[in-house]
Amino acid sequence: MFFRIFVAVTLLLLSFSASAQLTLTFEQATPTEYRLETVGGTLDIAGLPPTGNQTFTPQIDYASPTNYDYILGAPSTGAQFESYQVAWTPENNFQSGPVVTPPALNSGGGIFGFASLTDTVGLLLVPPGSGGTIGLGFSTFPGTLSDLNLSVDPVVFSYAGGGSTGTVELAVADNSKDFVGGTATGLTGTLGLQNNGGDDVPVPPGVGGSSTFRFPTQLVYGDPYAVTVASQPPGQSCSVANGSGTMADAEITSVQITCVDDPTPNRAPTVLDDLIKIPVGTPSLTIAAPGALSGAIDPDGDALTAALVVDAADGTVFLDPDGSFTYTRANPNTPGSDSFQYRANDGTTDSNTAEITIFVTDVNVAPVANPDAYSMAQDTLLVVPVLQSVLANDRDPEGHALTAAKASDPSNGTLQSFADTGVFLYRPNPGFTGSDSFTYTASDGSLSSPPATVSITVNPNQNRPPIIANDDAYTMSQGDTLNVFLPGLLGNDSDLQGHPLTAAISSVPTVGGVTVNPDGSFTYTPPPTFSGVDTFTYVASDGATTSAAATVQITVTAVANQPPVANNDTYATPLDTDLVVASPGVLGNDIDPEGSALRISSIVTQPANGVLAPRLLGGFKYTPTTGFTGTVSFQYRASDNQSDSNIATAQITVSPTNQPPVANNNTYTVIEDKVLFADDFLANDTDPEGHVLTAIKVSDPANGTIFGFDKNGSFTYKPNAGFVGTDSFTYTASDGAGSSNTATITIRVTAAAANGPPVTSNDAYSVVQGTVLNVTGPGILGNDSDPEGHALTAAVSFGGQPTNGHLSLSPDGSFSYTPDSGFVGVDSFAYVARDDAAQSTAASVQITVTAATANLPPVVNNDAYATPQGTVLNVAAPGVLANDADPEGHALTVTVTSQPTNGTLAKNPNGGFSYTPTLLGFSGTDSYTYTASDGALDSNVATVQLTVTAAASNLPPVANGDIYTTLQDTVLTVAAPGVLSNDSDPEGHALTVTVTSQPTNGTLAKNPNGGFSYVPNAGFIGTDTYTYTVSDGALDSNETSVSITVTRAPAVPVPALGWPALLLLLLMTAILGLHVVPSRVRM
């Protein structure tokens, strides 16, 4: 038989999380000796694991055979039972029995108890018989935990030796021993324990979650046990499962303690009113969950359900409990408003009642275009079909068919085609990798969306051959700037795939400054006095691969220093006023040919009147003689620290004392409550020296306001409301040195003519029962007038609404009238007209509602259309309705009853539609069917036949040869269309150039648009050629050649000339009639 023993403890829950569960498990001490008592003797289990010899010692005088059983396996998955018999001959003395060897354990050792050890190997020894002690040996490996729940199964065992946790012995009957150890799992709060005596047992710090703790207690076989909650956590209630019993109770497996939050009083939810606008012509509106509940609030966080309270008056509402709803309008083509009411419930309590109002507007809403993204491989063509077109993820609020229009081009490729269906072809620039983009708009035929961006990622090809950038060397003269034109640095570089290359600087020069352009051209500027060797590096790239850095060496040769050039200067100062001029002063307009910094080397002559104090860097101070007026001068030379300049003169004018300007009064007139703008009040003011004058306001007007007073002589004046009379303000004029007298500007405000009220006349209209009367502007204002001719606006007079219908009146006189359902007779409303100042008397508008005749269904007829292969067919309204009719003349709307099988249809209820044939070359006949409705009855079914005609076959383009000439050592640059100018394509497609062989005596930089640059090798004279083909995007042309003749340069440049040599050259030209052009003139 089996026994279970429980620890009799009380759990004190100091703090515990809501809805948590606590399960207690025990840990076992590590034993050093095992003993199993059997009927008739003792079986010693020596060593760990028990895979060796076992010794059985029978009792004295015991002669019967003894069997013992063991279980090998996992308790959760079943076990294998085996029985061994031990037999011996009794003697008078205590003897040892035969050796018994049980099988080795599957997991390599360890004896475990049969408790909650899931999927582990355990050995359970159960000897049969009665009259002796039934026992069990079990343990864990050193340092590990046996996950044994509070109930230990079975419980008759003895330990000796002990481990790090102390001696642990458990027994039945009178052999009560202490138990040490335990494991808590599922604990999320703070646990307090107390033993049977009621004494608190402290909990070690940090116990929580899955933690280990130890406590002492007494285990007595046959005594009752109890696990109770001594203290409830605040705001919670706790329960104990399997919390009591006795140690002989064989059914208890564990003790579980569960704590939950105490219930709180339920609070009602709250729902909010809402407003939704839909365009006229929308038959139904569907709002997804949470829909009506999107603004609902429940204070307790309970889940809510929605319920309809009052249905819509002009439609039908289906409201789902999750808040989603569908509103179907009875007359979708009629503007107006409708509403329904609903409430929410949290499972216990209803909310307030809220109302959702739906406005049906007759204003078209622009479509929404969403961004798109595509990817492709480098140097390939991206083909985007209809189903993946840019319009595939766009929408129109009214469901109109959309067309696409390109807004901007890509930066790193070409859109070879872009159809209004959103289909396009994109080819990246040769060698380009990275991100490119363009924009487009979507249109519903009336309004266009904001631009949307189409992003294209061009991924690089793998295993591209390297790019080779070669070193370059240039020579220049000191003080000059080196300008190298394309192909420049790239002229001796190569890409084995023939892609165009771009240059980028890798490291800057040591001495000078450089600007490197992507086409290989560059500009290098050394310091003015530098001579020697400078270097920088650059790399070449085809957009996907970059070369190693190449070095550019620039040799700057020294030249003889040229003297600076000093130029004359002029200054002015008032009487008895010092003239102070900051650096660079007189040197500001002086020049040094090498760009060297200048200084004043000497003052050649002093001014005749006054004192001069020069500064080395060109600034100076001049103090005129007291009372002197007139002109003085001084002379100086400039120096670049190597040579002096020519003599330059600085002239100073000392002017007499400045005379103030004279400001004169002005008068203006404006009508009451109007605005005056004047821009000429300085026109009658004067300055003795003729200086430019500016105005300064001194005082403001008393009966109006000045806006935008400008110093140039303009202002804006607005009189106070209703003011009539004379107003004024003052100002002065300034010449920059002095101000004038104060002048007055007078403004006469004259009375406006008296305003008379508008005059209104009565109006009369009629409408058929059950239909809406729509009157456009000027409507009821068309027969009204205003004595002063002011614009009029209309408004319903007080109490003037119609009694048998609904009115919507606009200020421009237009209105919409909807008679009540079933109403026939005369209805009316009253209105007034206003001119912003006066209001007319009320006028009456009479509306006669006549009885409707019996409605007959419309009649529709078949239609036929054709479109070329690969081309979208766009048919505008009335489209298929053009040959359809309604006996009563009602407006018709289209409903498609079957779709085409070889294309995509985008239809419009007004009869227009868009048909896109299948992209993969479909040609033939396709069709769809439709019915028309007059709002009450549907027509018969009509068929629309669509014929897609086959496109003509594409023919290859034709390329013709070209001839060009250039001078020796001179770059030939040919702009687009270049070699394409005499090439052609039978279908007129755009052409691109592909070079098939390079020239042998020069370097070619070509452009797909036909332009190119050719640099002949240094000194080469003769004819060079290269070949190319052209493509229309589908087929290549024949191969043709470009011939370039390089001729000898006609003349040798003369050496660089300075100013003296240049003057001599010009003199010889004039005397002898020579015509000589110098190659470079140094200034």
Say if residue 733 is in the same domain as residue 770: no
Q: Among 115-119, 189-193, 641-645, which stretch is predicted with the lowest mean pLDDT?
A: 115-119
Say if residue 841 is in the same domain as residue 784: yes
pLDDT digits (tens, 9 = 90+) for 134-175: 222 332 222 222 232 222 222 222 222 222 222 222 222 222
Say if residue 518 is in the same domain as residue 544: yes
Say if residue 251 is in the same domain as residue 307: no
Say if residue 551 is in the same domain as residue 581: no
Overall domain count for the chain: 9
Residue 401's CATH number: 2.60.40
Residue 247 pLDDT greater than 50, yes or no: no
Ranked by mean pLDDT, the top range of 7-11, 558-562, 628-632 is: 628-632
pLDDT confidence tier of residue 896, bands split at 50, 70 and 90: very high
Give the DSSP letter of residue 839: B
Q: What percent of the chain has pLDDT over 70?
A: 70
Kindly state whether residue 431 falls inside one of the protein's structural domains: yes
What is the three-class DSSP state of 1015? strand
For residue 697, what pLDDT is reported?
A: 93
- Amino acid at site 136: L
Tokens of 964: 């060009």
Residue 500 pLDDT greater than 80, yes or no: yes
Tokens of 865: 């259309």
Alpha-carbon gap, residue 144 to 29, rounded angstroms:
9
Q: Is pLDDT larger for residue 546 or for residue 216?
A: 546
Average pLDDT over residues 680-695: 85
Alpha-carbon gap, residue 660 to 638, rounded angstroms:
41
Kindly state whether residue 234 falls inside one of the protein's structural domains: yes
Look up the pTM and report it: 0.23
Alpha-carbon gap, residue 121 to 645, rounded angstroms:
109
Kindly state whether residue 1083 falls inside one of the protein's structural domains: no
Average pLDDT over residues 573-585: 89
Pairing of strands 467-468, 66-74: unpaired
Kindly state whether residue 129 falls inside one of the protein's structural domains: no
Alpha-carbon gap, residue 691 to 714, rounded angstroms:
18
Give the DSSP letter of residue 294: G
Alpha-carbon gap, residue 716 to 720, rounded angstroms:
13
Alpha-carbon gap, residue 42 to 45, rounded angstroms:
10
Greatest Cα pair distance, the chain, in angstroms, is: 161
pLDDT digits (tens, 9 = 90+) for 387-439: 889 999 998 877 788 999 999 999 999 998 888 999 999 999 887 889 999 99
Say if residue 697 is in the same domain as residue 630: no
Q: Is pLDDT larger for residue 1070 or for residue 991?
A: 991
Residue 598 pLDDT greater than 80, yes or no: yes
For residue 897, what pLDDT is reported?
A: 93
Say if residue 672 is in the same domain as residue 707: yes
Average pLDDT over residues 780-789: 86
Kindly state whether residue 806 falls inside one of the protein's structural domains: yes
Say if residue 594 is in the same domain as residue 649: yes
Say if residue 338 is in the same domain as residue 293: yes
Alpha-carbon gap, residue 931 to 942, rounded angstroms:
6
Tokens of 416: 């070879």
Kindly state whether residue 40 falls inside one of the protein's structural domains: no
Average pLDDT over residues 757-781: 89
For residue 107, what pLDDT is reported?
A: 29
Q: Which domain holds residue 996?
A: 962-1047
Please tell me the number of Cα atoms within 13 Å of 938 on its side-chain side: 9
Given 431, 459, 487, the domain boundary residue is 459
Kindly state whether residue 226 falls inside one of the protein's structural domains: yes
Average pLDDT over residues 837-848: 87
Say if residue 688 is in the same domain as residue 743: yes
Say if residue 351 is in the same domain as residue 401: no
Given 893, 916, 949, the domain boundary residue is 949
Say if residue 974 is in the same domain as residue 944: no
254 CB contacts (<8 Å, ≥6 apart)? 23, 24, 116, 149, 150, 151, 241, 242
Kindly state whether residue 842 falls inside one of the protein's structural domains: yes
Name beta bridge partners: 66.
Answer: 86
Residue 966's CATH number: 2.60.40.10
